Structure formats: structure tokens, C-alpha cells
Amino acid sequence: MSRNSDRYDPGPQIAQCGAVNLGVTDIEKSLFFFRDTLGMEEVERRGNVSYLRCYQELGHHSLVLTEQAEAVVNAYSFRVKRPQDVELFYEELKRQEIEVLELPAGAEAGRGAAIRFLLPGGDHPFELYYDIDKPRAPQHMRSRLPSNSSKRRGLGVRRIDHFNIQTSPSTINQAERWVRETLGFKRREFAYLPDHPETIMASWMSVTPQVHDLAIVANRLEKTAQMHHVAFNLQDFSDALTAADVLRDLDVSYGVGPGKHGVGQAMYLYIHDPGSDHRVEIYAGGYLIFDPDWEAIEWKPADFPEGLTWYGDPIDTTTGSRGRDTTGSAGLRR
């Protein structure tokens, strides 16, 4: 057999969801929620910025809390598969005449050089990076399991799971297609708007075996650059039910749940960070996709309510999180 395959280069690729940078108006309330209640480890604090990770994440952080005047999403970050992929994506963005900024190593603590741009058709601030520090937890927090970065604490969120973002019906097809064609996400499940059968209503896409690392949904209020939620993963359904019980007794605003999605088949619980009002999903279970020839599943309008909610409370897909994204060209500045 020819050895040409040894020189095959698939081009730049996304490896996983890396982190979300949430602007919060009260960082102490947000730390009470993410660190003290959900059980994340605060890895580092720099002035008004806190870096946190879940107990099964070895990287420096998956959540950045930035105390600021307005509760907006400052960035959605994705890790690429190879160091050279940051530069290769930069070159591709320039070729497409998309404005892109270079961020030096250390611009975000523990992270190497990155690039920043606004999602075409969505205006969401995306960042791509590869290098990330992997610090050891303080001695008193270390787990005896080497695959865990720290002991399981609080409600025990394991890792960041996915982002769910919204843009307008008039731009969602462009944004969803660009994510697939340029960033390499695969469409796993999807639905069209009943009154506009050629317009995406929701698309669940992934670069890992998960059903979605990124979901994009049409915002019926014609808004772009909206976050619906960021999700953190729990081990199983019983953990999600325990979380519902614990959080109900605290000063945490409820959205909906617990319930089970038809899409992805995971249990959900939607709540709001008390320091920012950003919507957070506690997410457990779900199925994985290993078939290389997977065909995206279309949910027809008559069946779609069961896609969002197999059982449990109906989910509001009309509006974004009460905390919102940055918008426009200002979203490039950090």
C-alpha cells in the first residue's frame, strides 16, 4: 500500500469545549454558587477575575468569572487538537476576511496564545487555543485518583459539558453552516422552524462522541449574540436529583427541571447563577455517538416537544439567559 497516507493532514480541528468567561456583577455570590455549591476548585484569583475547574478536569480552568459592571458572556473558548491549529485557524479566518485578534500567552491565566473572533451569523465571541497549564491542586484538595484534579466536593460537577447559544432566525443558517464547515462540528440532531421549514430552529453539533458540544437555537425575538445556557456535567441522574433538592433550599433562582431531554437523552436542571443571572444547566446521562457514518436525526414539528422535554417541565427556548453576550465589534476587545 502507498505510504502517502503517512503525510495526510486533516487540517485544523477543534478538540473540545474549553472554557466560558462569564461577566458577573457580584463575584462572591458567583463563587458561592460555582465553588462552594457546585464544588468547583478555584485554581487562581487575579484581582477581579477568578479561574475555576471541575474535579475531573486536569487543565487550569473551564470557567472564568470576571467581576464587571454588566453580566455578559465575555468569551466561549474551544481547545484545538494540535498546537499549529491555532495558527492554521487564524490563517483560515483571515482568508475568509473575518476580523480576528491574536491574544498572547497569559492573557487568560494558565492559557497559551489564542485567537479571538465573532461567530459569523451569530456575533458570539469565540476563542481558540491549545496550550493550557495543568496545575496540581493544593495538597488538602488532592484526590487519590490520578485522573481527578481534586476531591469531589459539593454537588460534584465533573466537567464543562456544552454551550447552548442563540442567534436570529435570519442568521442562524449561516452561523450553523459556518460552525460545521469551518470549525468541523458534526450535526447530530436538528429541527426546522415549523413556519419556515428551510430555517434551522435548533441544531445540536459535536466534535466529540457527545450529541452536542455546541447547540445553536433560533431566537424568536430576532436577537443575535445570546447565550441560552452553559452546561456542567454530573455523573448520573441521581446526582441531578440531589442537586435539585440541595439548590431548592438555597438562594438560587430556578428555571425548569429536573427533567429529561429527548434530544441527547440526558437529565436537565436549569438554574441561575446568583451573581450574574446567567443560566446554567446541570446535565447528567445522555448517549454517545461512535458511528463514523452517523446520519443527523431530524425532529419533525409534531414530535419536537418530546425532543426538548421527554418528561419534566417545558423549556423556554424563546429568550436567552438573563445575563447576555457581548455584541458587535466591541466583542473582540478584551
Q: Is residue 147 part of a domain?
A: no
Q: What percent of the chain has pLDDT over 90?
A: 84
> Which residues constitute the domain of residue 69?
14-133+157-324
Q: How many domains does the chain have?
A: 1
pLDDT in tens, 76-135: 999 999 999 999 999 999 999 999 999 999 999 999 999 999 999 999 999 999 999 999
Instruction: Say yes or no to pLDDT of 328 above 50.
Output: no
Q: Is residue 333 part of a domain?
A: no
Q: Is residue 281 part of a domain?
A: yes
Q: What is the DSSP string of 93-149?
A: HHHTT--EEEE-TTSSTTB--EEEEEPTTT--EEEEE--B--PPPPGGG--SSTT-S
What's phi and psi for 94, nearest 5 deg? -65, -40
Q: Is residue 285 part of a domain?
A: yes
pLDDT in tens, 155-166: 999 999 999 999
Q: pLDDT band for position 321 (50/70/90)?
A: low
Position 255 scores a pLDDT of: 85
Query: Contact, 247 vs 196, CB < 8 A?
Result: no
Mean pLDDT of 274-299: 96
Position 56 scores a pLDDT of: 98
Q: pLDDT band for position 173 (50/70/90)?
A: very high
- Tell me the pLDDT of the chain averaged across its residues: 93
Q: Is residue 138 part of a domain?
A: no
Position 257 scores a pLDDT of: 86
Cell of 249: 433550599
Q: What is the DSSP string of 214-259?
A: EEEEE-TT---SEEEEEEEEESSHHHHHHHHHHHHTTT-EE-S-SE
Mean pLDDT of 272-276: 96
Instruction: Say yes or no to pLDDT of 1 above 80.
Output: no
Q: Is residue 8 part of a domain?
A: no
Instruction: Say yes or no to pLDDT of 331 above 70.
Output: no
List the CATH number of the domain containing 289. 3.10.180.10
Instruction: Say yes or no to pLDDT of 238 above 80.
Output: yes
Instruction: Say yes or no to pLDDT of 204 above 70.
Output: yes
Q: Is residue 334 part of a domain?
A: no
Out of 1-10, 182-191, 207-216, which region has the weakest mean confidence (pLDDT)? 1-10
Q: Is residue 80 part of a domain?
A: yes
Q: pLDDT band for position 330 (50/70/90)?
A: very low
Instruction: Say yes or no to pLDDT of 14 above 70.
Output: yes
Position 327 scores a pLDDT of: 42
Asked if omega into 258 is within 30° of 0 (cis), the reply is yes
